[in-house]
Amino acid sequence: MPRPAKFPRALLDAAPEVRLAHFDRVTIAHPVLVEIDAALRGSIARAARGTIVLVFGPAGSGKTTLLARTEQWLVERAMPELKADPNGVAAVRVEAVTEGQPGFHWGDYYRRVLMALDEPLVDDKVDPKARVFRADEGVRRFARRRATVGDLRYAVEQALAYRRPAACLVDEAHHLAKTGSGRRLLDQLDTVKSLANLAGVPHVLVGSYGLLDFSILSGQLSRRSVLLHLRRYRGDSAADVHAFRRAVLTFQRHLPLEEEPDLVASWEYLMIHSVGCIGNLKDWLRRALHAAIADGGSLKVNHLERTALGVAQCRSIAAEAWEGEQRLFATAESTAELRRLTGFDVREESSERSAVTRARSKGGAKKPGRPGSRLPKRDRVGADAY
């Protein structure tokens, strides 16, 4: 007996745009998303003042879906407080935009935050500590001027402190790394850290693997940062393959078609050409659904082939994911360097040198070795070498 479809049967008689809109609303709680969603909620709930959460992953891994789920959770959690105090907001969600600009523009970002907070008269904001007066017929009044970046920054600080959102969610945050006018990358994140600290609102920066640059800028920033990796599914992991196949099955049952396609039979093709990213998979299936509806029939393999990303596009996404993953994985060299920086190998070498010195003192004075020769010691080998 066929399984019941996951959509209202009335959709089969609806217009194509209605059927596509239904599929757009479908989201899947796959294992990686559930794991990072829980970790992000926990990071926000117990965030200390000035906390910055960095969420990164490859293109199409579901970062926008994660933001939407987090925003919905914050709204539901804050509903009792919002009913008691309508001036508050549950969360602020903005996008870091750089289109048409040589670098990231903080004035534009502050305006977007103020608009997300429903602040009035954004361009007329002024910092009361930097008021400008002029004499006009014996009357002292404000000189009319457009709000500066400093004015907007002060307005954002005050608005966040007054509205008390649980978090500020910033999508496409890797654009912060586009430093215009020679501004250093460290200054960019220092600005975010300062804003999070002064306003008392944790900031969640969501973007590509470029955010990893922010996590290693300084010890102070690293201490206040939380790193969350919204990773892809890989074909060399049995658990990943199983999770991806289940996602394909869920999507195929939500496709508003008369005949349910057997997409699971093509899971390997789907996994390769979506680079194991659920967001890419959903976008691809939407294009294939549109093509199938236009053809007036069921969804076939040729619809998948016609709407798939090109090989060059897939290679670009896969290469970005692979490079980002390599930066996250600890190597023997980086672990050895960490041991040296934390003093473990230094102390061991110092104790070995002390033992040699004691042996020499018992056996009498020894002639110094040749320049450049090391003291005798037992070399560490095997897994313990690291």
**CATH code where residue 225 lies:** 3.40.50.300
Quick one: 213 and 114 in the same domain?
Answer: yes
Q: Domain boundary at 283, 309, 328, which?
A: 328
Residue 82 in domain: yes
Residue 32 in domain: no
CA 238 remoteness from chain centre: 26
Quick one: 314 and 179 in the same domain?
Answer: no
Quick one: 223 and 272 in the same domain?
Answer: no
Quick one: 216 and 271 in the same domain?
Answer: no
Quick one: 85 and 98 in the same domain?
Answer: yes
Residue 107 in domain: yes
Quick one: 53 and 113 in the same domain?
Answer: yes
Residue 85 in domain: yes
Structure tokens at 68: 């939407």
**What residue ranges in the chain does DSSP mark as E strands?**
52-56, 92-95, 133-136, 139-142, 168-171, 203-207, 225-229
Residue 114 in domain: yes
Q: Domain boundary at 229, 254, 282, which?
A: 229
Other CB atoms within 10 Å distance of the CB of residue 235: 13
- Can you tell me whether residue 5 is helix, strand or coil? coil
Question: What's the confidence (pLDDT) of residue 312?
Answer: 95
- Can you tell me whether residue 343 is helix, strand or coil? coil
Q: Confirm if 109 and 156 have CB atoms less than 8 A apart.
A: no
Quick one: 89 and 108 in the same domain?
Answer: yes
- Can you tell me whether residue 93 is helix, strand or coil? strand
Quick one: 105 and 163 in the same domain?
Answer: yes
How many whole angstroms separate alpha carbon 346 and alpha carbon 337? 11
The amino acid that residue 68 corresponds to is A
Determine whether 384 is exposed, middle or buried from the number of CB atoms within 10 Å of its CB (0-12, 13-18, 19+). Answer: exposed
- Domain encompassing residue 308: 9-27+234-328
Q: Domain boundary at 328, 343, 377, which?
A: 328
Residue 244 in domain: yes
**Tens digit of pLDDT at every position of the chain (386 positions):** 345 667 788 888 889 999 999 999 998 889 999 999 999 999 999 988 878 899 999 999 999 999 999 999 999 999 988 888 878 889 999 998 876 666 778 888 888 988 888 876 555 555 555 444 444 544 444 444 567 888 888 888 888 888 889 999 999 988 887 765 445 777 777 888 888 888 888 999 999 988 887 766 655 566 678 899 999 999 999 999 999 999 999 999 999 998 899 999 999 999 999 999 999 999 999 999 999 999 988 899 999 999 999 999 999 999 999 999 888 876 556 777 777 777 786 555 555 555 555 555 555 544 545 544 555 555 555 544 44
Residue 214 in domain: yes
Quick one: 71 and 195 in the same domain?
Answer: yes
Q: Confirm if 163 and 87 have CB atoms less than 8 A apart.
A: yes
Question: What's the confidence (pLDDT) of residue 133?
Answer: 47
Quick one: 258 and 212 in the same domain?
Answer: no
Quick one: 162 and 82 in the same domain?
Answer: yes
Domains in the chain: how many in total? 2
Residue 161 in domain: yes
Quick one: 205 and 323 in the same domain?
Answer: no
The set of residues, in sequence order, having a beta carbon less than 8 Å from that of 385 and lying 6+ positions away, is: 332, 336
pTM: 0.76
Q: Confirm if 176 and 104 have CB atoms less than 8 A apart.
A: yes
